[in-house]
């Protein structure tokens, strides 16, 4: 492989990807089977909603945000978003929401092409949200509740949290407990507390091994990049609380540790290390990965991939620890916490520069808007670049501008090095 700074091939493929593909295939066929046969009830859940509770109750759990990301990465979202706009949902709100509702209205899903025999997303028996990340998820699930005539239940989370206090944890824990009775009625079974403990323990272990995977990138050269992480986080998102996720990450971690031992980097000839703050641009993952690889720049860490690390899960106290985990999430926190968190990440991953992705339709994951890049640079000395774009709406993305800005930023960092 060439080490030329402009080589588009200077990236290294992760062998475990094939195994992940098999695991995700099994997950989606299992969901489809549950929905088609009615053998198991299906719950839709937001990404950091109470998935542990749903799994312990025996639901097959589906994550619409994952579907939104699939619509983005298959570049179908931009043409589907206007369908939701026509139904009254603004182009300025979450483009996962608008792409997903647009896909439902057009009866389209990338699942059909990826997994022959699956005709549609699994029809839910219940929709369960947590507003810890944003209000959009409640509106999103509210739309489906009206459309399909199924209940939407959820947690109204505190936001802008600096310290996760006992009072806040108690509030959310009580809300999770209040979900048990209506969910038991839907699934037709009582909650087995031991099964809940076991699921919380599995989620904790998944979170720990996922953290170990991401932290291999503390080594230089980094054995994986942010762009790899967005792909390999699939099991952490969709299968946390299951043994399959753990088994997968054991394989991935072994491969990455071998790369570290062999001095093999994901980006050949790594000369700079960046941090990505904000959402990925799903429809441009490959281009961005290739662009940075060609600049021999490794994007080594991100808030996004690290958001599936939940050190608080504790099987000894499942409800309170779930509440704590869902509240400790970066997106729930106030600016002083975010600044401390990012400063720590920049230092631990030995980062030369930070990219803030200003995603047009997700203000909650766009942390450049209230002076944080400037404050962070003042306190850490790490320069930043703001890239304007979006997670799913490619009309908000200028490829040329992204390229020019990224190249100029890398040049500037190399001059300073
Ligand atoms: S956090 Fe952002 S991307 Fe995620 S559901 Fe909310 S608005 Fe959409």
28-70 pLDDT per residue, tens = 999 999 999 999 999 999 999 999 999 999 999 999 999 999 9
> Quick check: CB of 362 below 6 Å from ligand 1?
yes
Q: What is the mean predicted confidence (pLDDT) over 350-366?
A: 98
User: Mind listing the pLDDT tens digit for each residue in 135-162?
Assistant: 999 999 999 999 999 999 999 999 999 9
Question: Residue 295: is its pLDDT beyond 50?
Answer: yes
Largest CA-CA distance found in the chain, in angstroms, rounded? 64
- Using an 8 Å Cβ cutoff, are 214 and 185 in contact? no
> Quick check: CB of 96 below 6 Å from ligand 1?
yes
Length of the chain measured in residues: 417
**Residue to mutate (ligand 1; options 137, 139, 304; most atoms within 8 A of CB):** 137
With cut-offs at 50, 70 and 90, classify the pLDDT of residue 10. low
In 10 A of CB 151, how many CB atoms?
16
CA distance 275 to 384: 9
Confidence (pLDDT) at 4: 39
Confidence (pLDDT) at 234: 97
Question: Residue 6: is its pLDDT beyond 90?
Answer: no
Q: Give the N- to C-terminal CA distance of the chain in Å, as an integer.
A: 26
What are residue 227's phi and psi, to 5 degrees?
Answer: -70, -35
**Residue to mutate (ligand 1; options 47, 330, 365, 393; most atoms within 8 A of CB):** 365
Q: Which residue is associated with the tokens 């009775």?
A: 181
- Taking CA atoms only, the protein residue closest to ligand 1 atom 5 is 137
**Residue to mutate (ligand 1; options 136, 233, 363; most atoms within 8 A of CB):** 136
With cut-offs at 50, 70 and 90, classify the pLDDT of residue 417. confident
Question: Residue 351: is its pLDDT beyond 80?
Answer: yes
Full-model pTM: 0.96
* 3-state helix/strand/coil string of 137-168: HHHHHHHHHHHHCCCEEEECCCCCECCCCHHH
Q: How many CA atoms lie within 13 A of 318 on its CB side?
A: 24
How far apart are the CA of 357 and the centre of ligand 1, in A? 14
Confidence (pLDDT) at 3: 35
User: Mind listing the pLDDT tens digit for each residue in 76-106?
Assistant: 999 999 999 999 999 999 999 999 999 999 9
- In this structure, the dihedral spanned by the alpha carbons of residues 150, 55, 137 and 286, taken in order and rounded to 10 degrees, is -120
CA distance 398 to 140: 27
With cut-offs at 50, 70 and 90, classify the pLDDT of residue 163. very high
> Quick check: CB of 136 below 6 Å from ligand 1?
yes
Report strand pairing: 42-45 vs 126-130.
Answer: parallel
Alpha carbon 258 to its chain centroid, in Å, reads 26
How far apart are the CA of 308 and the centre of ligand 1, in A? 15
CA distance 95 to 90: 9
Q: Which residue is associated with the tokens 């700079």?
A: 272
- Taking CA atoms only, the protein residue closest to ligand 1 atom 2 is 362
Paired with 356 in beta bridges are 277, 386
Q: pLDDT > 90: what percent of the chain?
A: 96
Tell me which long-range contacts 257-265 makes (C-beta under 8 A, separation of at least 24): 257/216, 257/223, 259/12, 259/216, 259/223, 260/216, 260/219, 260/223, 263/221, 264/12, 264/221, 264/223, 265/12, 265/220, 265/221, 265/222, 265/223, 265/298
Going from the C-alpha of 113 to that of each of 71, 116, 209, 214, 246, the distances in angstroms are 12, 6, 31, 30, 27
Question: Residue 271: is its pLDDT beyond 90?
Answer: yes
CA distance 345 to 342: 5
- Taking CA atoms only, the protein residue closest to ligand 1 atom 6 is 134
């Amino acid at each position: 492989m060439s080490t030329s700074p402009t080589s588009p091939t200077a990236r290294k493929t992760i062998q475990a990807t094939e195994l992940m593909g098999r695991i995700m295939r099994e997950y989606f066929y299992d969901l489809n089977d549950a929905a088609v046969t009615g053998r198991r009830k299906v719950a839709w859940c937001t990404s950091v909603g109470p998935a542990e509770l749903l799994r312990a109750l025996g639901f097959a759990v589906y994550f619409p945000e994952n579907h939104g990301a699939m619509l983005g990465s298959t570049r179908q979202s931009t043409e589907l978003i206007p369908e939701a706009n026509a139904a009254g949902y603004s182009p300025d709100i979450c483009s996962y929401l608008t792409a997903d509702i647009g896909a439902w209205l057009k009866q389209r899903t990338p699942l059909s092409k990826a997994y022959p025999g699956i005709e549609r997303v699994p029809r839910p028996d219940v929709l369960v949200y947590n507003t810890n990340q944003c209000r959009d998820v409640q509106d999103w699930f509210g739309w489906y509740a009206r459309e399909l005539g199924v209940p939407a239940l959820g947690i109204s989370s505190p936001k802008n949290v600096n310290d996760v206090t006992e009072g806040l944890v108690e509030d959310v824990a009580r809300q999770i407990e209040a979900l048990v009775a209506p969910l038991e009625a839907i699934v037709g079974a009582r909650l087995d507390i031991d099964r809940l403990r076991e699921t919380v323990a599995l989620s904790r272990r998944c979170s720990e091994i996922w953290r170990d995977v991401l932290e291999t990138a503390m080594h230089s050269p980094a054995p994986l990049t942010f762009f790899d992480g967005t792909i390999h986080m699939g099991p952490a998102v969709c299968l946390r609380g299951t043994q399959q996720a753990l088994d997968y990450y054991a394989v991935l971690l072994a491969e990455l540790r071998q790369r570290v031992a062999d001095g093999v980097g994901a980006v050949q000839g790594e000369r700079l290390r960046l941090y990505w703050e904000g959402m990925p641009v799903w429809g441009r993952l490959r281009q961005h990965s290739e662009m940075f690889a060609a600049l021999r720049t490794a994007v080594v860490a991100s808030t996004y991939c690290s958001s599936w690390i939940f050190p608080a899960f504790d099987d000894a106290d499942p409800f309170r620890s779930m509440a704590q985990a869902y509240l400790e999430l970066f997106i729930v926190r106030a600016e002083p916490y975010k600044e401390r968190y990012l400063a720590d990440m920049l230092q631990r991953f030995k980062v030369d520069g930070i990219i803030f992705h200003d995603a047009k339709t997700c203000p909650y994951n766009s942390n450049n808007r209230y002076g944080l890049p400037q404050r962070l640079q003042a306190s850490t000395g790490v320069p930043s670049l703001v890239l304007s774009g979006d997670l799913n709406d490619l009309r908000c993305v200028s490829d040329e501008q992204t390229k020019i800005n990224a190249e100029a930023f890398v040049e500037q960092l190399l001059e300073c090095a």
